[in-house]
Amino acid sequence: MDGNLNALTTVFTEFYYWVTVVFMFLIHVGFCMYEVGASRRRNHMHTLMKNVMVIPLVTVTFFFFGWWIYWAFPMFPFFGGLDHEMGSGNLPWAETMGPNAADRITGVFWAAFLLFSWTAASIVSGAVIERIRSSALWVHAVLIGSVWWIIDAAWGWHYGGWMVKYLGYHDAYASGVIHAIAGGYALGVIAVLGPRIGKFAKDGTPRDIPPHNPWMLTIGIFLIYTGFWGFYAACNVPVISPEGIGGQITGTTWTATNIYLAPTSLSGITFNFLMSLSGGLMAAYVVSKGDAFWTFSGGLAGVITASAGNDLYHPVQAMLIAAVGVVIVYRLHFWVERRFKLDDAVGAVAVHGYAGFVGLIIAGFVLWGAPSSPYEGYATVNPLGQFIGALIMFFGLGFLPAFAVSKIQAAMGVLRIPEEVELEGLDYAEHHAYEEAKEAIIEADKAHLATKLTPAE
Amino acid sequence: MSSIGYESWAVDLADVGPIYPFQGYEVLMVAIGVIFWLGWHRIQFVRENEHLERAKKRALDHEKVQQSVERY
């Protein structure tokens, strides 16, 4: 860090990302609360444990290979080989992957991406509650969190990614690279996993399985909103000079940028986060006829729909795009549920997958012709590039790998829990020691009451 | 043609102002936004009115009302 300005910029950037990481932890807290609230009483501990263990498993695998994929795969395998030069600095044994006085950014930048990885895995986790084996989910968590999403990030969320360069793909706050892929992945898993017992009547009519605790859901989703705010900040480079970008920008004016190093501002995305949240909430309230959970989830779906272009949209555009997206997402969820008999327990495929997909396409039209990158020779944003990008995210890197791996797991008999256990409840079946201890304590208290204390006269 | 007015970032950012799409149509966009907002109130008023009318009819059962009161 030679020079005061360089030192100040570096330390500010380091601290900026660190703060976003702490905020983003709330996304996972929110997902845990939401899933536990949505599950039935007999499945609480299992649901919670399933999501908590996503944290260490994705973290260590993201350290071992996920982070390297991001830097090595921008052109691989379709338009070039692995980028060994960039990749080597991000291998788990590289000197920059640890305390290093010459590098103060890699750790916090790695952590910011890691928190996105947790989110991708946790989105899948919600859709499959109450009937998937933890072992199967944790394999999926590693695959979506440390392989598939980070490949899509290298291709479409990297300043040198081939999707950005040749398709003009634009996805500033991850409508596609996190949400469409995770929603598509969840769809691939539940298509094989099947619905929970009792979800569909004999004539195929879907039944609502109500949450056991609406308050946990409410607080959970508000925590997700809060963490999502941190996520937005984490997707930006907070301050950088034209010289630092090294692209076509001239002059000496410093700027914040999106992940592609193209200009935006924290102020602008704050407008758009709040306006798209509001548009989503308002539209979801109307379309769901005031259903509380769809209204809250609609706020999230609204932000996700607008996220692809929220670095550039006008706030009113962000609000309207969010509203349009939510109406499509809500209708599509129930159509798919009825048509294909799929049980998406928390609406994750819809809120993340469909919203992300729709958001990418809308961005292609509204931002048509805008530069996708500050570098020369890149395609501009366009509807076809966005549509192809959405297909790659949702189906190519989301649905298909999930479907294939789930089929293998199902064939091996390691995907779904036995029916008897599903009916009894995973907590009683797996955490029997806890339940037995509770029974023993209750019996001991009763015995004490009978022998030592007498009722008041 | 670019909806944001810039086809490349080969510019000096000191000379750049708004970068959102459809600059010059701000008033129209806000007007559409206001229609969305007021339309939302209209729909909500009508629906809540219908809902309360239905609820009022259900509430004619005095015994049920009493049970609700006791449930707190």
What tens digit of pLDDT does each residue of A16-58 get? 999 999 999 999 999 999 999 999 989 998 999 999 999 999 9
Side chain identity at residue A386, one-letter code: Q
Q: Best mutation site among B20, B25, B42 for testing chain A: the one with the most A CBs within 10 Å?
A: B20
d(CA A182, CA A402) in angstroms, rounded, equals: 10
Which of the residue ranges B35-39, B47-51, B68-72 would you say has the lowest mean pLDDT? B68-72
For B23, name the nearest residue in chain A, comparing CA atoms only: A314
Helix axes A355-366, A383-391, angle to 10 degrees: 160
In which band, very low, low, confident or very high, does the pLDDT at A279 lie, cut at 50, 70 and 90? very high
Higher pLDDT among residues B56 and A331, named by residue: A331
B27 Cβ under 8 Å from any chain A Cβ = no
Q: Is A431's pLDDT higher than 70? A: no
- pLDDT at res. A1: 60
Ranges of beta strands (E only) in A345-406 are none
CB contact under 8 A, A248 and B8: yes
Q: Is A428's pLDDT higher than 90? A: no
B4 Cβ under 8 Å from any chain A Cβ = yes
In which band, very low, low, confident or very high, does the pLDDT at A83 lie, cut at 50, 70 and 90? very high
pLDDT digits (tens, 9 = 90+) for A98-135: 999 999 999 999 999 999 999 999 999 999 999 999 99
Percent of chain A with pLDDT over 90: 91
Place of tokens 């619905």: A195
Place of tokens 């009937």: A131
Whether the CB-CB separation of A184 and A398 falls below 8 Å is answered with yes
A264's enclosing H/E stretch is strand A263-264
- pLDDT at res. A178: 98
- Mean pLDDT of the A280-286 span: 98
- Mean pLDDT of the B27-36 span: 98
Q: Which of B15, B21, B44 sits opposite A317 (nearest CB)?
A: B21
- Say which residues have a Cβ less than 8 Å from residue A207's Cβ, sequence separation at least 6: A198, A199, A200, A201
- Mean pLDDT of the A54-64 span: 98
Q: Is B37's pLDDT higher than 90? A: yes
For A369, name the nearest residue in chain B, comparing CA atoms only: B2
Q: Output the CA–CA distances (angstroms, integers) from residue A302 to A22, A247, A280, B2, in the order listed.
A: 24, 33, 4, 25
Q: Is A455's pLDDT higher than 90? A: no
Q: Is A166's pLDDT higher than 90? A: yes
- pLDDT at res. A281: 98
Higher pLDDT among residues A120 and A453, named by residue: A120
B68 Cβ under 8 Å from any chain A Cβ = no
CB contact under 8 A, B22 and A314: yes
Query: At the topology level of CATH, where does A4-424 sit?
Result: Ammonium transporter fold (1.10.3430)
Which residues from B are below 8 Å from A380, CB to CB?
2, 7
Q: Which of B6, B14, B40 sits opposite A253 (nearest CB)?
A: B14
In which band, very low, low, confident or very high, does the pLDDT at A456 lie, cut at 50, 70 and 90? low
In which band, very low, low, confident or very high, does the pLDDT at B62 lie, cut at 50, 70 and 90? confident
- Mean pLDDT of the A373-380 span: 98
Phi-psi region of A436 (alpha: psi -120 to 50; beta: other; left: phi over 0): alpha
Q: How many CA atoms lie within 13 A of A390 on its CB side?
A: 22
Q: Vertex A135, ends A132 and A140: CA angle to 5°?
A: 80
- pLDDT at res. A194: 97
- pLDDT at res. B66: 82
- pLDDT at res. A457: 56
pLDDT digits (tens, 9 = 90+) for A249-274: 999 999 999 999 999 999 999 999 99
Tell me the pLDDT of chain B averaged across its residues: 93
φ, ψ of residue A371 to 5 degrees: the values are -65, 135
- pLDDT at res. A342: 96
Q: Best mutation site among A254, A266, A314 for testing chain B: the one with the most B CBs within 10 Å?
A: A314
Q: Kindly report the nearest CA distance between residue A55 and chain B, in angstroms.
A: 37
